[in-house]
C-alpha cells in the first residue's frame, strides 16, 4: 500500500493537484482531493497508469467491478466519491493475493467558502465541517511531509501506543537430549494409550510458521521471546527481534529446573529480562491467519482483554480471585507484567 500511496502522491504533485492526507476511520491512510478537481485527477491518474496495472474500485455510490485505470476511468458511475486504487499483488512467501481491500483510498471532498462536505466521516471530523475548523497543517508519514488538517494524526483516546512483545513457549521434541530427559521423568508414570506416541512430540517446525505469521499479520509486535531449553533451530537466521530465553535466565528459583511443566514455565514468563510491560503469550503451534491489531488483546487503558463464553466444552475455569472467567486452552492471550504473580 505504501508504494502505491507514494506513487499517487507523486502523480498529484506532478499535476499540481492539491490534496490532504487523512486518517480514515479504519486507520487507513486516505488522500482527499477537491471534488472540483475530479476531472484533472482522473486525467492525471490515467496518464500516469498508462503502462501500469492500476485498478480503481468504487467504494460508495453504485458499487461495481474494479476498472483498469489505463482504460480512462476511475469508476463506472459519475456519482462515485470514494475510490480505492490498487495494483493486484501476490505475496511470494505465502501466495496470498492482495487487492482492493489493501488499496489506497481517494475521497472527493466538496470544498466551498461556507462548508466542507465529506463523503464519509474520518477519525477526526464529521461529514460536514466548517472551513475555519479545518485548519491546515502538516504531518510526517512514510518518509514524507504531507499536507493535512491539524490534529488529524494526533493521539486519540482509543489509540494503543505502548510496546507489545510476544512470548512463545517451544521445545524441540525430536531432540535426543529432551527425549532422554522426558523418559527419565516419565519412567514411574503410566500414561494413556497414544499419549506417549512419538508423533505427539515430533518436531515439524511449527515455530517457523508461527514466526512467519507474526511477521505477516502482526508487524506491530516489538520483540519475540522464545522460552525454551532446546537449541536454536538451524533454519532460524539471526534477528535482533527474536531472542531465545533458556529457563535459567527467567526462573526466579532455578533449583526446580529442569522442568517441562508448561504451567510452571508460564507463571515465570514475566521475569524475562527486557520483556515489555504488555506482552502476548502463545504456544508455538498457534498461528495468526489474518491481520490482527493490538486492540484485539489490550484496551487503550492498557488492560488485557479477556473472552467470556457460556460454552463449557474445551474451556478451563480459573479459581480464586478470577473465578468465573474462562481462558481457552491453546489460545494466544494478552498479559500485563504487573498483573502477573
Q: Which has the closest alpha carbon to 204: 174, 224, 176? A: 174
CB 21 within 8 A of CB 141: yes
Q: Which has the closest alpha carbon to 111: 96, 94, 141, 132? A: 132
For residue 214, the surrounding DSSP H or E stretch is: helix 206-217
Is the model's pLDDT at 311 over the cut of 50? Answer: no
Buried b (16+ CB within 10 A) or exposed e, 253-278: eeeeeeeeeeeebbebbbebeebbeb
CA atoms of 172 and 176, how far apart (whole Å): 9
Q: Count Cβ atoms below 10 Å from residue 338 Cβ, excluding itself.
A: 9
Over residues 101-115, mean pLDDT: 93
Q: Which of 1-5, 207-211, 329-333 has the lowest mean pLDDT?
A: 329-333
Which set of grid coordinates corresponds to residue 203? Answer: 518436531
Domain ranges of the chain: 2-149, 164-339
pLDDT confidence bin for 319, thresholds 50/70/90: very low
Q: Considering the domain 2-149, what is its CATH architecture? A: 2-Layer Sandwich (3.30)
Is the model's pLDDT at 215 over the cut of 50? Answer: yes
Over residues 112-121, mean pLDDT: 93
Q: Which of 10-19, 35-44, 139-148, 286-295 has the lowest mean pLDDT?
A: 286-295
Say how far residue 49 (Cα) sits from the centre of its chain: 30
Which set of grid coordinates corresponds to residue 68? Answer: 483498469
Please, what is the average pLDDT of the chain? 84
Is the model's pLDDT at 55 over the cut of 90? Answer: yes
Is the model's pLDDT at 312 over the cut of 60? Answer: no
Q: Which of 50-59, 106-115, 233-242, 269-278 has the lowest mean pLDDT?
A: 233-242
pLDDT of residue 21: 97
Is the model's pLDDT at 277 over the cut of 50? Answer: yes
Over residues 242-256, mean pLDDT: 91
Over residues 16-39, mean pLDDT: 92
CA atoms of 275 and 268, how far apart (whole Å): 12
Is the model's pLDDT at 331 over the cut of 80? Answer: no
Over residues 182-208, mean pLDDT: 73
Amino acid at each position: 500500500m505504501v508504494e502505491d500511496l507514494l506513487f499517487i502522491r507523486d502523480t498529484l504533485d506532478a499535476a499540481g493537484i492539491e490534496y490532504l492526507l487523512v486518517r480514515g476511520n479504519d486507520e487507513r491512510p486516505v488522500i482527499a482531493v477537491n471534488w472540483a478537481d475530479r476531472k484533472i485527477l482522473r486525467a492525471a491518474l490515467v496518464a500516469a497508469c498508462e503502462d501500469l496495472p492500476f485498478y480503481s474500485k468504487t467504494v460508495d455510490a453504485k458499487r461495481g467491478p474494479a476498472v483498469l485505470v489505463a482504460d480512462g476511468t476511475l469508476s463506472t458511475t459519475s456519482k462515485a466519491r470514494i475510490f480505492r486504487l490498487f495494483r493486484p499483488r501476490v505475496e511470494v512467501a505465502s501466495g496470498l493475493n492482495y487487492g482492493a481491500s489493501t488499496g489506497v483510498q481517494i475521497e472527493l471532498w466538496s470544498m466551498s467558502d461556507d462548508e466542507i462536505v465529506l463523503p464519509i466521516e474520518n477519525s477526526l471530523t464529521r461529514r460536514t465541517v466548517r472551513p475555519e475548523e479545518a485548519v491546515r497543517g502538516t504531518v510526517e508519514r512514510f518518509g514524507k511531509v504531507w499536507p493535512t488538517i491539524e490534529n488529524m494524526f494526533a493521539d486519540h483516546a482509543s489509540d494503543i501506543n505502548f510496546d507489545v512483545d510476544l512470548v512463545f513457549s517451544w521445545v524441540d521434541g525430536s531432540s535426543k537430549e529432551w527425549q532422554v530427559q522426558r523418559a527419565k521423568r516419565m519412567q514411574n508414570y503410566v500414561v494413556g494409550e497414544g499419549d506417549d506416541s512419538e508423533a505427539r512430540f515430533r518436531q515439524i517446525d511449527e515455530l517457523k510458521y508461527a514466526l512467519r505469521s507474526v511477521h505477516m499479520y502482526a508487524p506491530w509486535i516489538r520483540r519475540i521471546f522464545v522460552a525454551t531449553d532446546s537449541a536454536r533451530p538451524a533454519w532460524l537466521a539471526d534477528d535482533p527481534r527474536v531472542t531465545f530465553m533458556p529457563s535459567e535466565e527467567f526462573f526466579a528459583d532455578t533449583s526446580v529446573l529442569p522442568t517441562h511443566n508448561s504451567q510452571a514455565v508460564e507463571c515465570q514468563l514475566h521475569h524475562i529480562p527486557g520483556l515489555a510491560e504488555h506482552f502476548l503469550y502463545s504456544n508455538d503451534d498457534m498461528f495468526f491467519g489474518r491481520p490482527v491489531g493490538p486492540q484485539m488483546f489490550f484496551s487503550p487503558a492498557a488492560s488485557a482483554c479477556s473472552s467470556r463464553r457460556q460454552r463449557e466444552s474445551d474451556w478451563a475455569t480459573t479459581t480464586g480471585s478470577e473465578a468465573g472467567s474462562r481462558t481457552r486452552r491453546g489460545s494466544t492471550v494478552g498479559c500485563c507484567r504487573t498483573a502477573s504473580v
